[in-house]
Structure 1
Amino acid sequence: MKAHLLAAAAVTTLAACTHVPDAATASLDQLTGRTPMGGDMEVADAGTIAPPQLSEQTMKDVTRELSSDEYQGRAPGTIGEEKTKALLVKRFRQAGLQPGNDGSWFQEVPLVEIAAKQFSPLTVTGGKQPLSFQQGSDFVAVTYREKPQIDLNDSELVFVGYGINAPERGWNDYAGIDMTGKTAVILINDADFGTESLDGPFGGRAMTYYGRWTYKFEEAAHQGAAAALIIHDTAPAAYGWNVVESSWTGPQYLAQSDDGGADQTKVNGWIQKAAAEKIFANAGKDLGQMMQAARQKGFQAVPLGERASLSFENDIERTLSNNIVGILPGATRPDEYVLYTAHWDHLGICKPAPDGDDICNGAVDNATGTAALVALAEAQAKAGHPDRSIVFLAVTAEESGLLGSQYYADHPIYPLAKTVGGVNMDAFSMAGPAKNLTVIGMGKSDLDRYLNAAAQAEGRTPEAEPTPEKGYYYRSDHFSLAKKGVPMVYFEGGEDLVNGGRAAGAAAATDYVENRYHGPKDEYNPNWNWAGVMADLRLYYRIGRELAMTSDWPNWVPGDEFRATRDETADQRK
């Protein structure tokens, strides 16, 4: 989810406060205050894993090709997917990889494409006066049900705070209310947002999965709600309305289900905060006061005394998309696997820019990450077969909710118990080389040791993400594997640039987020500075190669949310 770009755009000085002194040489205990897994760690001197010459030309060529207009934004199930598959198979084969799925380069991922159209206004009645809101400018809505027509008729609006039901934390925003047929109005993020420490019922500043929109829609459906509307607020969401609008209009891709989504809400959507303020005022409520009340443990859901209506049509198409997978077999332990992941998809045809350009090319996001898979495959193959196998996995439908990586996690080609760990790559910074690097989820696993060793060898300083309240660890494909217990590290180029420091890094990130991210202007630029990209690529190489040469089995640190799942399969790694 482009963590360092979004974080740097939102926070210009906080990163300096989260600097980890001597992180390149610090132990995991020093970094986190926690005890690492038992057993001997075999992290070699990073200087012995020096990368061969990594190809900047490959990075340029593959990024430029994938983000060209001919690929039409690489939406799953389109000509853009077919072109992407052909290109990656060609480049993987030339690099020296073998097909990664029992003789095939592909893993089929069954998806449903639902394209909503013919929206009525969202109308609200029962308050002081009737209200009407327009799709796109005021709200966005989709359905997870495979129905050609969606009708939400006079559904009672209920403010459910953060929409969280967490028994282990003694928190239930749905306590005492039957949501059947009703519309849940929900705040983004969680009740700890805005706190400075890491203490609180939801991890303080560090967002948990409860703060993510995916969870909120899941829980609303579980509660029997007919619809769920999240109130957009830029700071706690970590992106502006422009990102919501571009991401949630146009075709949406879902994983195919046996019941056609019958267990989901009729409508999932977002509403502008200004529109929500009107709805609350129309009900005689103050949204600001209600938001404060929702932060308190024991909050009770509040019926607003208003009813919402909305209708739209859907074009529905079942399609098979594909994860693209290649493997460099291990020489001595080929049944142990190291993962590199990146998503190849983007948004396809999207809301036009003022000049009429309606192709979301996704050059940075994530043609660069996909190109990195190719460049790393070339370098790893050139270095010879490592002890363990290295898998290069280009996944589909990340932009639709991590669907491709989740499908792989649910249907792994290689046993997850024998998957050593992995590195995820999601959008490289084109701002130039940085002194630091931004680690998303620092302190979660023993993979920090490998990252620190690689950073030390490259003269870089790892720093914890400056805005853990944004929940970036839950926003890209590593999360799908982490949920299944596979240790995954996710880091990106830092914002403390060699030329210009943090101010220049923040300015570059802000420019990208405001002018290109998830829009038609995320296009290839022949004048890009690739020095920072190649510096980051060397780190990715070192970590993957070392994991493939060691006999170590990294784990999550004790107490981490993914540790128990990993431990359940420990006997398979003896």
Structure 2
Amino acid sequence: MLSLGDGSQHDLLHKDELLIRSQQASVTLNNTPLVFVGYGIIAPQYKWDDYAGIDVVGKVVVVLPNDPGGERFLGERMTYYGRWEYKYEEAARQGAAGVIIVHTDELFGSAFPLVRDEMRRAFRFLPGAVRSGLEFESICSERFGRQLLSTAGVDLDAFVAAPWPMANRACRLNACLQLHLNFDIGIRHCRNVLAMKKGRLFPRQCVLLCAHWDHLGKTSDRTQPRGYYPGAVDNAIGVSVLLELARRLATAAPLRRTVLFAWTSAEEVGMLGSARVAQLITETGLNVVAALNVDGFVPIGKTHDLSLVDGDQSDLPEAFVRAGKSLNRLITLDDEPRAGYFYRSDQASFAKIGIPSVQVSTGSNLLKGGVQEGMKRHDFYDSNTYHRTSDTFNRNWDFASICADIDVLHETLLMLGDSLCRVRLRSR
């Protein structure tokens, strides 16, 4: 129940206007105050701090999705600060009791019904992660978010058009949250598969190759005859690519640096497998110089290019450009940077701990048909096969392009694995 300063009360859960999940078995809040902290970002490199001088301990913070963009951030390219995961992590670090993200289609990048469906699924998490300090995390509808912000005189459109850091002037909303919820928590076990080819000179330095082996499991949709999601493209092909690279390394002399292979689980439910690998890297002090995540290899036919999603995070794409040039292949970068695809697969887990990371995927510039035909085939896969039970092997698939992509990956791996240089990180 949410109580506003005008005396009105709102049962947001009943109206599906406040979508809540938690890592706690029981959550109880009694008239806990709400504080608007803008985008909820602390980014020293962008001279932005929404929490400086503000005490949010034990309070519920209300934040906006995405980041301010413009000249102070990376313009149209979303930074990690724009992801909802970051909003929850930072609020937990600040000691907040909970978080409400105000949804808008434009800032969030997806419609509220899609977000509602996601929030209704079982919430999976790693125990001991930063977010576990929160009592709850939530997303509210735009309609109610606007009403909530208006209690402190904040016009959402005006703020988005001309945002400012909230440091020392956060708006305490004229509202309090009363909440009592119980959650069922179960423990599930899943496994990552790791393999290593030890480096001959610098065994503590390594290049990480990653592909997730999980998909979405069974479906309750009785209209689907198979009853499960096979995941041939997403991501059995990626798993196979790593197996082929491992085969090549197994028969060759060791590189100067170690090569670590990680076939991760639980990517589809929050990149939990790669998050666990990142924890192990931190705990062991392994020096990972680059992480290459293979996800999105689609057998659409032979292309001129290999596609990278790099988040403008590092100079790692330059190694691919050099490798591609030696094999007469082009390297193209993410053409929708504002959508934040960099943070939607396993590379994000490694980027969060300061490792130069990239996602490697099939390009779109077909030898026969060019970019227009390539995008058409990608769109067909996204609309008809992605995350569906139809994602099964087809003997008519053309693997010529994927074999050529493996060659570029292999050449890049050799460059990185035998190098004495470091990949330069940029501001995230």
The TM-score bracket by the shorter chain reads 0.7 to 0.9
Distance 1:470 1:290 in 2: 21
Offset, 1:516: 5.4
Pair 1:374 & 2:253 matched: no
Unpaired stretches in structure 2, ≥5 consecutive residues: none
Shift of 1:325: 1.0
Are the equivalent residues in 2 in contact too, given 1:350–1:520 (CA < 8 A)? no
1:166 aligns with 2:43: yes
CA separation of 1:404 and 1:554: change in aligned 2, threshold 3 A = farther
Asked whether the 8 Å contact 1:405–1:477 carries over to 2, the reply is yes
Counterpart for residue 252 of structure 1: 123
- 1:127, 1:283 within 8 Å by CA — same for their partners in 2? no
The residue identity in structure 2 corresponding to 1:560 is R
Structure 1 residue 409 displacement after superposition? 3.0
- In 2 relative to 1, CA 154–509 (structure 1 residues): closer, same or farther, beyond 3 Å? farther
Find out whether 1:217 has 2:88 as its counterpart. yes
Alignment partner of 1:252: what SS? coil
- Using a 3 Å threshold, how does the CA distance of structure 1 residues 556 and 234 change in structure 2: closer, same or farther? farther
Give, in angstroms, the shift of residue 531 of structure 1.
Answer: 4.0
Output the amino acid matched with 1:339: L
User: Greater shift after overlay, 210-219 or 314-323?
Assistant: 314-323
Q: Distance in 2 between matches of 1:127 and 1:455?
A: 63
Deviation larger for 275-284 or 219-228: 275-284
TM-score when normalising by structure 2: 0.81
What aligned pairs does 1:35-434 form with structure 2 within 5 A after superposition? 125-126=4-5, 130-134=9-13, 138-145=17-24, 147=25, 149-167=26-44, 169-175=46-52, 177-192=54-69, 195=70, 200-241=71-112, 244-257=115-128, 264-277=133-146, 279-280=148-149, 286-293=155-162, 295-297=163-165, 300-329=169-198, 337-348=206-217, 352=221, 359=228, 361-381=230-250, 383-388=251-256, 389-412=258-281, 416-417=286-287, 419-434=288-303
Deviation at 1:285, TM superposition (A): 5.8
Q: Against the structure 1 CA distance between its residues 302 and 458, is the aligned structure 2 distance closer, same or farther, given a 3 Å change threshold?
A: same
Distance 1:160 1:523 in 2: 42
* Residues 271 and 346, structure 2, Cα contact 8 Å, conserved in 1: yes
Letter in 1 for 2:370: G
Within 2, Cα distance between the matches of 1:493 and 1:173?
A: 39
Match of 2:350 in 1: 481
Count of equivalent residues = 424
Question: Which segment drifts farther, 223-232 or 135-144?
Answer: 135-144
What letter matches 1:203 in structure 2? L
Equivalent residue, structure 2, for 1:523: 391
Q: CA, structure 1 residues 331+222, in 2 after alignment: closer, same or farther (shift >3 Å)? A: closer
- Offset, 1:307: 3.3
Structure 2 distance, partners of 1:184, 1:344, is 36
Secondary structure class of the residue paired with 1:410: helix
Q: Is the 8 A contact 1:364 1:522 kept in 2?
A: no
Report deviation, 1:311. Answer: 4.3
Deviations 1:83-120 (A, max 9, x none): xxxxxxxxxxxxxxxxxxxxxxxxxxxxxxxxxxxxxx
Deviation per CA, 1:172-199: give whole Å up to 9, x if none.
323554334432221111111xx4xxxx
Q: Secondary structure at the match of 2:364?
A: coil
Alignment of 1:423-572 (within 5 A): 423-441=292-310, 445=314, 447-513=316-382, 517=386, 519-521=387-389, 523-526=391-394, 528-548=397-417, 550=418, 552-557=419-424, 560-561=426-427
**Equivalents in 2 of 1:302, 1:535: separation in Å?**
55
503 and 283 in structure 1: CA distance in 2 versus 1, 3 angstrom threshold = farther
Hey, what's the Cα distance between the residues in 2 that align with 1:153 and 1:358? 44
Structure 1 residues 336, 501: CA separation in 2 closer, same or farther (over 3 Å shift)?
Answer: same
Q: What is the CA deviation profile of residues 129-163 of structure 1, one whole-angstrom value per residue up to 9, with x for unaligned ones?
A: 54444579644321133x2x223444433332211
C-alpha displacement at 1:543, in angstroms? Answer: 1.8
Q: How far does residue 499 in structure 1 lie from its aligned partner after superposition?
A: 4.0
CA contact (8 A) 2:311 2:337 kept: no
Q: CA RMSD in A?
A: 3.8
Instruction: Report if aligned partners of 1:340, 1:393 keep a CA contact under 8 Å in 2.
Output: yes
In the alignment, the residues of structure 1 paired with residue 12 and residue 383 of structure 2 have an alpha-carbon distance, to the nearest angstrom, of 25
Specify the SS of the correspondent of 1:141: strand
C-alpha distance in 2 between matches for 1:306 and 1:473:
36
SS in 1 for 2:298: coil
Q: Which amino acid aligns with 1:555?
A: R
SS at match of 1:254: coil
1 or 2 for the larger relative contact order (CA 8 Å, sep ≥6)? 1
TM-superposition CA deviations, 1:393-421 (whole Å, max 9, x none) = 1123334444333333332397623x453
> After the TM superposition, which of the residue ranges 526-535 and 459-468 deviates more from structure 2?
526-535
Deviations 1:326-374 (A, max 9, x none): 2345577766543211122344457859769875554433333223222
Q: Aligned pair in 2 of structure 1 residues 404, 457: CA closer, same or farther (>3 Å)?
A: same
Which amino acid in 2 is paired with 1:174? Y
Task: Give the superposition deviation at 1:204.
Answer: 2.5
Q: Cα offset for 1:203? A: 2.7
* Aligned residue in 2 for 1:95: none
Structure 2 Cα separation of the partners of residues 219 and 393 of structure 1: 28
In the aligned structure 2, how far is the partner of 1:281 from the partner of 1:515?
A: 42
Report the 3-state secondary structure (helix = DSSP H, G, I; strand = E; otherwise coil) of the residue aligned with 1:322. coil
Q: Deviation at 1:247?
A: 4.1
Structure 2 counterpart of 1:227, which letter? G
Give ranges in structure 1 of 5+ residues lacking alignment.
1-121, 563-574
In 1: Cα distance, 2:252 partner to 2:359 partner:
25
> Are residues 172 and 330 of structure 1, via their aligned partners in 2, closer, same or farther at CA, if it must alter by over 3 Å?
closer
How many Å apart are 1:464 and its aligned residue? 3.0
Distance 1:456 1:387, change over 3 A: same
Letter in 2 for 1:189: N
Provide the C-alpha distance between the structure 2 equivalents of 1:415 and 1:503, rounded to a whole number of angstroms. 46
Q: Post-superposition shift, 1:314?
A: 1.9
Going from structure 1 to structure 2, the CA distance change for 1:488 and 1:416 (only over 3 Å counts) comes to farther
Please report how far the alpha carbon of residue 445 of structure 1 lies from its aligned counterpart in structure 2 after TM superposition: 4.6
Change (3 A) 1:493 1:317: same
> How far, CA to CA, are the matches of 1:262 and 1:429 in structure 2?
34
SS of corresponding position for 1:318: coil
1:282 and 1:334 map into 2 onto residues whose CA distance is: 58
